[in-house]
Amino acid sequence: MIKRDFSSFLLYAFSFLLLSEWLRPIEQLTETNHIEMFFIFIVISFALSYLHLKWIWNYSVKTLFILYAINQLHYEVGLFDLTWITAFFRDIMDNFRVLTARNWNDLSNEFRTLLFFILLWLMVYLINYWILNRKRIFIFFFMTLVYITVLDTFTPYIAKFAIVRTVVAGFAVMGMLTFYRIVQKENVSTEPTYLRKWMVPLAVMISLSVVVGIAAPKAASIWPDPVPYFTANNDKVPEDKASSVNRIGYGTNDAELGGPFIGDNNRVFQYEGNGKNYWKMETKDVYTGKGWLASGTTPITFRQEDLVPVFSVPDTVETIKESSRVVTSPEYNYNFLMYPAGISKVLKMLPEGNRYEIDTTNERISLFSNDNVPAVPQVFTVEFERPKYKASDLVRTTSYDPTIINEEFYQRYTLLPENLPPRVKELAEEITATKTNWFDKAKAVESYFGRSAFTYDQKNVAVPDTEDEYVDQFLFETKRGYCDNFSSSMAVMLRTLGIPTRWVKGFTGGDFLQYSDETSGAQIYEVTNNNAHSWVEVYFPNQGWVPFEPTKGFSNEIIINYGANGQSSSNNQETSPAPVKKPQKEEIEEPDKTNDSKSFFDVKRIWEETKLFLKNNWKRIVFIIVIAAAVVGILYRIRGKWVPYSLLVIYRFKKKDENISAAYLALLEQFERYGLKRKENQTLRKYARYIDSFFSTREMSQLTAIYENYLYHQQLPKGAWKESHELWENLIKKTIA
């Protein structure tokens, strides 16, 4: 078994780097979130292997972490609440039945997470087996290189630096294992000096190879990039779109939708408010069969603190007045404002002295300087009215009434292209056959996309060919896509039923960061490019534009009262509490602050604050722990250079004769560290003679005689320690490595 020392620590660290390269592309290429949990798991697994803990402790720690991770990722209740554990084990039993039926797509997210943890557990076990028993890791190193190079070639993942990291870590591990194999086979010395003579040339060789490889000129590729080639053939990507994969984020051109994109976690803005909101950027009203356009432009200028001339929530709808403060990212370069539904005013804008312009056709708010130059908003506050709809009011509209809805308005928001395949309307009529009013029909279509036949996917998404219709292709052929596919399909299907709809672009509510302070309870959220989103608004004559969320895995934040007793829910017809399962990423709402006792010893409050602190600062904490562990490791590795000096300082100020006992034992420890270990059954006098012969001195024998005198008589002549202190110092200095 490999000893626990600094070199073996490096061996495990490089092995961790190799395995981490398998995890890095997963978050970008799949729907897997919270990848940091899996990184932490493999760190714990390698640490337990390095410490050589007994299997019972090893298995217990890993199992507890897996349960903790699943609780954090998929359940809202606490870790020690038995309700989630019961639900989780019931879910495992259900998934075993799904496995026996070979319905792989129906596995739950919790069970998939468990399987992934088990897979990582097995991977770490195999790496430990290769390291400890076989002392070979070339196969895993080779498989890692093949894995990342294939992903680099055939997916949007860019493995330029991953290949360099893998080569460095792989050659380092193979070089160290070669040293251990030679030591084991030839039974040679394993002193640190021999290891150093092996490792220094290895490090130089790897460094030179990497530097030369990076600096050397590269030949141009013989074949074109295969990613757009295969995308063009499999998903019918037009040639003008086959050159690249788009990056997620807000854009103004929606004339041709479809195609894959890659994630972008760069911040767009932060906002402070009383809860999550969807943030609108604009709406589109003309569906072309390929994408969305605005039917025209009708700009209106207004000033700060004026009522925003946008289609407001009717007076018949109860509202809650709220405000949010928005701070955009320095990288945000549009002059458009993001705003919640029901916006009434824009306040406290930075930069100051600007004018606002809203295009009432697409409801996009733009910021201009007084010189009519587009200005990027930096900080501003929006006042808005959050509507509280009543289901009894929403279900009143059953058909188009020209005396209530303007005919031109109605035609505009029910317009469809002439070449729309009839089966789209037939499907919409089939879904809503039992519904009699617009609201129930809209809810039926919205719920239809939650079926297992539809898959939310950002990568394997088709682009319609010239003969394909965007919505028809998604509904009947691919059934795979992201928000644009789902929202466009719902809007078009409702239009085939004569229900006015429009397509909305903007951002979801983002991720909770922290509370703004301890008293107000206001929350701060961060919105990134990954939160770019589209949804549907349906027009009801007595309620205005009401948002709907058809995209699978998403849920908007509207409040609808479904009962006569005044109970409300957020876009959910069931008035009973939701299961303990956590919703999908965009559904997660942060808990409100409780009004419990403010006692200093309020355990619940302290626990919640601790969890919030860990959630907001876990990356920093992990970084500090890693740095601290590295510092401790380095100090331990070079302890021969600083521990003797520390002992010299400590005992220089001790004057009592009794100190000779502790000083002598400390000297024995330093000799053992130095490599002059005392043998079993070897007396102190023989050991002292061995030390003297090694250093060609008689100081150890003299000091040992004084120590034995104290050991047997428990006293020394006055001043004995002062006289022998010089002997002790001379011997301690000889142990400095």
At residue 709, the pLDDT reads 79
pLDDT at 509 over 50: yes
Least confident of 416-425, 504-513, 516-525, 676-685: 516-525
Residue ranges of the alpha helices (H) in 52-137?
55-74, 82-100, 109-129
Q: Which residue has the higher pLDDT, 667 or 599?
A: 667
Q: Which residue has the higher pLDDT, 120 or 5?
A: 120
Give residue 575's pLDDT band: very low, low, confident or very high (50, 70, 90). very low
Kindly list the distances between the CA atom of residue 708 and the CA atoms of 341, 383, 689, 716, 719, in Å, as whole numbers in the listed order. Answer: 88, 86, 14, 10, 16
Per DSSP, the three-state class of 112 is: helix
pLDDT at 208 over 60: yes
Arithmetic mean of pLDDT, 495-508: 94
At residue 238, the pLDDT reads 45
**What pTM was estimated for this model as a whole?**
0.49
Element (H, E) at 721: helix 720-734
Give residue 191's pLDDT band: very low, low, confident or very high (50, 70, 90). low
Give residue 491's pLDDT band: very low, low, confident or very high (50, 70, 90). very high
At residue 245, the pLDDT reads 63
Give residue 518's pLDDT band: very low, low, confident or very high (50, 70, 90). low
Q: What does the pLDDT look like over 126-158, one tens digit per residue?
A: 888 777 666 777 888 888 888 888 887 777 777
Dist. CA 341–CA 360, nearest whole Å: 14
- Are 612 and 515 contacting, i.e. CB atoms less than 8 angstroms apart? yes
At residue 593, the pLDDT reads 40
Least confident of 400-409, 510-519, 677-686, 693-702: 510-519
Q: Which residue has the higher pLDDT, 478 or 616?
A: 478
Residue with tokens 């990613």: 227
Q: Which residue has the higher pLDDT, 238 or 549?
A: 549
Helix 109-129 to helix 6-29 angle (10° resolution) is 150
Q: Which DSSP category does 305 fall into?
A: T
Task: Evaluate the omega torsion of the peptide bond into residue 238 and state whether it is cis, within 30 degrees of 0.
Answer: no
Give residue 507's pLDDT band: very low, low, confident or very high (50, 70, 90). very high
Share of the chain above pLDDT 70, in %: 85
CB proximity list for 599: less than 8 A, separation 6 or greater: none
- 532-540, strands of its sheet edge to edge: 279-284, 501-507, 532-540, 544-548
Q: Which residue has the higher pLDDT, 104 or 504?
A: 504
At residue 187, the pLDDT reads 62
Give residue 186's pLDDT band: very low, low, confident or very high (50, 70, 90). low
Dist. CA 317–CA 389, nearest whole Å: 6
Dist. CA 712–CA 728, nearest whole Å: 20
Q: What is the mean pLDDT of the chain?
A: 81
Q: What does the pLDDT look like over 248-300, one tens digit per residue?
A: 888 888 888 988 888 888 899 999 988 888 999 999 999 999 999 998 888 89
At residue 586, the pLDDT reads 41
Arithmetic mean of pLDDT, 676-683: 83
**Residue 257 phi, psi dihedral angles, 5° rounding:** -95, 165
Q: Which DSSP category does 713 fall into?
A: H
Residue with tokens 């959910």: 572
Q: What does the pLDDT look like over 173-183, one tens digit per residue?
A: 888 788 777 77
Residue 69 CB neighbour total at 10 angstroms: 19
At residue 605, the pLDDT reads 61
Please, is 405 exposed, middle or buried when counting C-beta atoms within 10 Å of its C-beta (0-12, 13-18, 19+)?
Answer: middle
Arithmetic mean of pLDDT, 353-377: 87
Q: What does the pLDDT look like over 520-542, one tens digit per residue?
A: 678 899 999 999 999 999 999 98
pLDDT at 597 over 80: no
Q: What does the pLDDT look like over 607-650, one tens digit per residue?
A: 666 767 776 677 778 878 888 888 888 888 787 778 888 888 88
- Are 339 and 365 contacting, i.e. CB atoms less than 8 angstroms apart? yes
Give residue 4's pLDDT band: very low, low, confident or very high (50, 70, 90). low
DSSP 350-404: ES-SEEEEEETTTTEEEEEETTS-B----EEEEEEEEEEEEHHHHTT--S--TTT
pLDDT at 495 over 90: yes
Give residue 102's pLDDT band: very low, low, confident or very high (50, 70, 90). confident
At residue 132, the pLDDT reads 65
pLDDT at 421 over 80: yes
Q: What does the pLDDT look like over 232-254, one tens digit per residue?
A: 444 444 444 444 467 788 888 88
Dist. CA 9–CA 333, nearest whole Å: 47
At residue 12, the pLDDT reads 83
Arithmetic mean of pLDDT, 705-724: 76
- Are 524 and 270 contacting, i.e. CB atoms less than 8 angstroms apart? yes
- Are 29 and 260 contacting, i.e. CB atoms less than 8 angstroms apart? no
Q: Which residue has the higher pLDDT, 119 or 237?
A: 119
